[in-house]
Amino acid sequence: MRNRVQVPLPPPFSQIPRHPILYSDPSPIHSLPALSHQCTGSRASTPAHAHSQPGPRISIFAKREDQGASLACAGNKYRKLEYIVPDILSSSPAYHYHESHPTHQPLPGPATILVTEGALQSNHTVQVAALARKLGLKALVLLNRDTGGGYKSTPSPETFLQVGNPQINRLLGAEIRMYDAHDPEATDAQPVLDELRLSGHRPYWIPGGASRHPLGGLGYARAAFEIVTQENEIQLGGSGRFDYVFVSCGSGSTVAGLVAGFKLLEKMQLCVGNDLTVHAGFPAPRQIIGILNSPTRPREWHEERVLRFARKAGKLIGLSDVNKEITMEDVHLDDQFVGKGYGVIDDETRKAMSTLAEIEAVILDPVYTAKVAAGMIHWARTEAMDRYAQQHGLQEVNVLFIHTGGQAVLPAYFDQNLMRSTESG
């Protein structure tokens, strides 16, 4: 049974409307002892550590966002959607528009259909479709065959179109429209929204990953406060908190929300127990590491995007001067594990999936979480965490892996070898 943990938020953050989709108690955090032992022990055998003093103990934990809600295919998008639902259900939704056609005209009544976009195996589209059914609304999802390389690299493209998340979208009763890069919907869904309006609907547009939505970063800003309350319950060693937090960076607002939330906590110098109180000796800033999952854009493009999203969320939750309080120094993205394409499996992805399954019985997905795990394991075996521990006088470094879900895509990869390659060990 999960511990009941209240998540106290300061105003104005606490005053922002939120519609609960997640369970009333936080998504669980549990230790990964076998992986922790493996990462701690293996460091001595790497060239970087061969002639150095023993490094700190690495203690790895997982926050299970894939177990955070009762709706279909639970994952990180439900947390983002919680702050969007109040606008969807309002008598005159304000943020319903497509980002390329901004309008200040609210809908003339509550939304009747949710419209969103994504890659063929998009987790986000499933979570939007599930939310729509739960709210008694219709759902239309636009799926792009050319996003990433999963569809192009599979030996069974027709199966890839049918199983996994597209199958679940159909079970949820969502209307699915598939298109290619040359189709108009690939860059502008406004004609689809216009079509729906002409047919009598009041469509509400939710951009891919909900990141470009004005409220898209709030869910993971709240998650930062949630993580801090759970730290107090877990009674961590070392610094008593998570020194490193690893999470996927795709559309950007998950890592951006965490940056904004932890920045507000840092500014307030909070120590969270049963209440919010001032702590004079608040430790050094946490290392929030976003692992990029696609090589489509350069790292610098993603960094600018995350910074923009973090500042937008920071302004809403109460940071007074976001341009000074959140800077590029707060954005840490790693592009070493993007592989050959979005949704394309490589040896590092296979190895991470096999490792977590074999030693911890934790199932990852090949698009997001396996790449995050690969990056996290790499960081745990390099000198970066040694330097962090030495700088702050720590014998133990606490690491949090945010598992954002996505396992429903596995059937689409049934014809590809998901086991670790013989070359990578």
Residues 218 and 261: their CA atoms lie apart, in Å, by 8
Nearest to 205 by CA among 332, 84, 378, 34: 84
In the beta sheet, which residues pair with residue 59? 398
Instruction: Determine contact, residues 397/385, Cβ cutoff 8 Å.
Output: yes
CA dihedral of 11, 12, 14, 16, whole degrees rounded to 10: 170
- Length of the chain (residues): 425
Q: What phi and psi, each to the nearest 5 degrees, are found at residue 197?
A: -65, -40
Dig out the tokens for 251 from the structure.
């559309």
Residues 72 and 137: their CA atoms lie apart, in Å, by 16
SS3 402: strand
For residues 228-264, b (16+ Cβ closer than 10 Å) or e, as one string?
bbbbeebebebbebbbbbbbbbbbbbbbbbbbbbbbb
| Per-residue pLDDT, 278 | 37
Nearest to 102 by CA among 232, 239, 226, 212: 212
Which are the contacts of 227, defined by CB distance < 8 A and separation ≥ 6?
29, 63, 242, 245, 400
Instruction: Determine contact, residues 144/186, Cβ cutoff 8 Å.
Output: yes
Which fold is adopted by the domain 13-70+216-412?
A: Rossmann fold (3.40.50)
Instruction: Determine contact, residues 188/100, Cβ cutoff 8 Å.
Output: yes
Nearest to 372 by CA among 255, 284, 286: 255
DSSP 416: S
Q: Which residue do the tokens 């309008």 mark?
A: 103
SS3 115: strand
Residues 131 and 137: their CA atoms lie apart, in Å, by 8
Residues 364 and 408: their CA atoms lie apart, in Å, by 10
| Per-residue pLDDT, 187 | 80
Residue pLDDT tens, the chain, 425 long: 455 667 899 999 999 999 999 999 999 999 999 999 999 987 555 555 554 567 899 999 999 999 999 999 999 999 999 999 999 999 999 999 998 888 879 999 999 999 999 999 999 999 999 999 999 999 999 999 988 778 888 889 999 999 999 999 999 999 999 999 888 877 889 999 999 999 999 999 999 999 999 999 999 999 999 999 999 889 899 999 999 999 999 999 999 999 999 999 998 874 444 344 434 445 667 999 999 999 999 999 999 999 999 999 999 999 999 999 999 999 999 999 999 999 999 999 999 999 999 999 999 999 999 999 999 999 999 899 999 999 999 999 999 999 999 999 999 998 787 776 544 44
| Per-residue pLDDT, 52 | 57
pTM (2 d.p.): 0.94
Distances (CA, A) of 180 to 106, 151, 203, 310: 31, 11, 23, 31
DSSP 144: E
Domain 76-206 class in CATH: alpha beta
| Per-residue pLDDT, 150 | 86
Nearest to 77 by CA among 120, 48, 113, 118: 118
Domain coordinates of the chain in residue numbers? 13-70+216-412, 76-206
Instruction: Determine contact, residues 118/150, Cβ cutoff 8 Å.
Output: no
Dig out the tokens for 52 from the structure.
């150095």
Dig out the tokens for 172 from the structure.
């949820």
Q: Which residue do the tokens 């709240």 mark?
A: 222
| Per-residue pLDDT, 3 | 52
Task: Quickly list DSSP for 282-312.
Answer: --PPPEEEEEE---SS-HHHHHHHHHHHHHH
Residues 368 and 353: their CA atoms lie apart, in Å, by 11
SS3 351: helix
Instruction: Determine contact, residues 19/52, Cβ cutoff 8 Å.
Output: no
Instruction: Determine contact, residues 394/372, Cβ cutoff 8 Å.
Output: no
Domains 13-70+216-412 and 76-206 agree in fold: yes
Which are the contacts of 148, defined by CB distance < 8 A and separation ≥ 6?
119, 294, 296, 341, 342, 343, 344, 367
